[in-house]
């Protein structure tokens, strides 16, 4: 009896490997986009419609690529719509009455943008604490780190909910006030917090380790600390109309791309710290702790001595010195408990790979953001490049990581040298992100301290 064997070469197509839930997720995203188009399409310009159309396949692809994003996306969408519905129960002459944020229970304590972002702050601190408990204790460390991971996901959920609700709230204030909340220092810090946390959570799932959460969430907690000071002390959390230069669709893509870079650069530095704690001699670590921050403290002290000429600069210097002192204390604590930490952190080869991948991803997005920024500058100010302090320091950041990647790919840069370089890169990036606003002024000074 003759038998015929059919041979199928190659792999199944990506679409054929999709599950029923994948397709349900895609339909829900398309349905949600259709609702937004029907409800708000007349208020959008051509660029905003184009962004919405591009966002649909992008979100579907990301959800298919990384399964946890599906539940996160649908949950944030559902809760944001619930918050909007609660706001719309009480209207004024223009739209939803934002006074409901202080009257409706769920808005006041959970779902208004301010409440959601405050919950984000609390959850980030709790997540960091849980991760560190998991690093420092023996029995039960896996449970503590799993709780840290859950809390980090909850922080991202509340941050995204707060961001979308704040976007809605801005449109209810008055004509031409509404805008995507990435326009000032308060809003971009929220963006930095959830983006950095989300990228870390992807790395956590990809490498099957939660041991880096304690390190990465330290930089996120530092950002939360600044955000709380900036909002509670300086009162910078209020929604403000956009200045003319920011009334552009370029802002909607330039700023998020920029902060993917900032977030991954910060993440790579904290992984570099874990690498150094695991591999560098103790003497080298103490030398680095005293040498690099010590030099920065001397520079800041020089600025402070000249502060009588510029009191605002002197105040900024004192804040920077306190922040740097806190970082040095944390670094010293990390060195002191390195034996316990090293038993639980991944192998040096894994840390080196995470550091490289984070910098490569950040460099790609930072490059795109820089190019987009040049086009935006041409539209807003009539020139692609003006050597504004922010532009100059963005170029310095780009050159720093371009050199890092070149040395790795062409010269095989590895080990402690690469890690120290990544840590110094965090200092350069922080000055470009925050220091320029503190010490310098220019066309990009939208969030002075």
Predicted confidence at residue 150, as pLDDT, reads 97
The whole-model pTM stands at: 0.87
pLDDT of the chain, 449 residues: tens digit per residue: 455 554 445 555 666 678 888 899 999 999 988 988 888 777 777 777 888 888 899 999 999 999 999 999 999 999 999 999 999 888 877 778 888 888 999 999 999 999 999 999 999 999 999 999 998 886 667 899 999 999 999 999 999 999 999 998 988 887 778 888 888 889 999 999 999 999 999 999 999 999 999 999 999 998 998 899 888 877 778 888 887 777 777 888 889 999 999 999 999 999 998 998 888 666 666 565 555 555 555 555 555 555 544 455 555 555 555 555 666 666 666 666 667 777 888 999 999 999 999 999 999 999 999 999 888 888 877 777 778 888 888 999 999 999 999 999 998 888 889 999 998 899 889 888 887 776 665 555 555 55
pLDDT recorded at residue 277: 86
CB-based contacts of 91, cutoff 8 Å, min separation 6: 97
Cα–Cα nearest to 79, from 115, 55, 50, 52:
115
> For position 1, what pLDDT does the model report?
46
- Cβ 352 vs Cβ 279: under 8 Å: no
The ranges assigned to domains in the chain are: 87-196+208-242, 255-449
User: CA-based Rg of the chain, rounded to a whole angstrom?
Assistant: 23
């Amino acid at each position: 009896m003759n038998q015929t064997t059919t041979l199928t070469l190659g792999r199944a197509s990506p679409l054929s490997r999709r599950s029923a839930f994948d397709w349900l997720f895609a339909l829900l995203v398309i349905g949600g986009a259709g609702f937004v188009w029907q409800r708000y399409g007349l208020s959008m310009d051509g660029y905003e419609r184009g962004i919405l159309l591009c966002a649909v396949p992008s979100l579907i692809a990301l959800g298919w690529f990384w399964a946890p994003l599906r539940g996160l996306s649908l949950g944030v969408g559902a809760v944001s719509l619930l918050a909007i519905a609660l706001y719309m129960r009480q209207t004024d002459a223009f739209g939803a009455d934002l006074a409901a944020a202080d009257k409706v229970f769920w808005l006041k304590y959970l779902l208004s943008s301010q409440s959601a972002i405050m919950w984000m702050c609390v959850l980030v601190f709790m997540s960091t604490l849980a991760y560190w408990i998991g690093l420092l204790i023996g029995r039960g460390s896996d449970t503590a780190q799993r709780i840290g991971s859950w809390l980090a996901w909850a922080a991202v959920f509340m941050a995204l909910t707060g961001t979308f609700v704040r976007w809605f709230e801005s449109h209810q204030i008055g004509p031409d006030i509404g805008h995507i909340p990435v326009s000032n220092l308060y809003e971009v810090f929220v963006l930095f917090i959830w983006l950095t946390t989300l990228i870390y959570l992807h790395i956590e799932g990809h490498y099957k380790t939660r041991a880096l959460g304690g390190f990465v969430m330290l930089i996120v907690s530092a950002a939360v600390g600044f955000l709380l000071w900036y909002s509670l002390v300086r009162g910078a959390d209020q929604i403000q109309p956009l200045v003319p230069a920011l009334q552009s669709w370029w802002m909607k893509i330039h700023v998020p791309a920029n902060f993917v870079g900032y977030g991954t650069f910060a993440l790579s530095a904290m992984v570099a710290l874990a690498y150094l704690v695991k591999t560098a001699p103790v003497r080298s670590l103490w030398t680095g702790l005293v040498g690099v921050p010590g030099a920065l403290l001397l520079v800041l002290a020089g600025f402070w001595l000249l502060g009588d000429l510029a009191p605002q600069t002197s105040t900024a210097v004192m804040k920077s010195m306190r922040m740097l002192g806190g970082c040095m204390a944390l670094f010293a604590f990390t060195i002191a408990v390195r034996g316990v930490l090293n038993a639980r952190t991944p192998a040096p080869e894994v840390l080196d790979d995470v550091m490289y991948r984070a910098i490569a991803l950040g460099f790609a997005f930072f490059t795109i953001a820089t190019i987009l920024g040049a086009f935006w500058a041409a539209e807003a100010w009539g020139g692609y490049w003006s050597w504004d302090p922010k532009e100059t320091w963005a170029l310095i950041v780009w050159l720093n990581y371009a050199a890092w990647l070149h040395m790795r790919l062409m010269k095989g840069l590895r080990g402690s040298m690469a890690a120290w370089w990544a840590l110094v890169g965090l200092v350069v990036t922080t000055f470009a992100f925050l220091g320029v606003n503190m010490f310098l002024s220019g066309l990009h000074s939208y969030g002075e301290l």
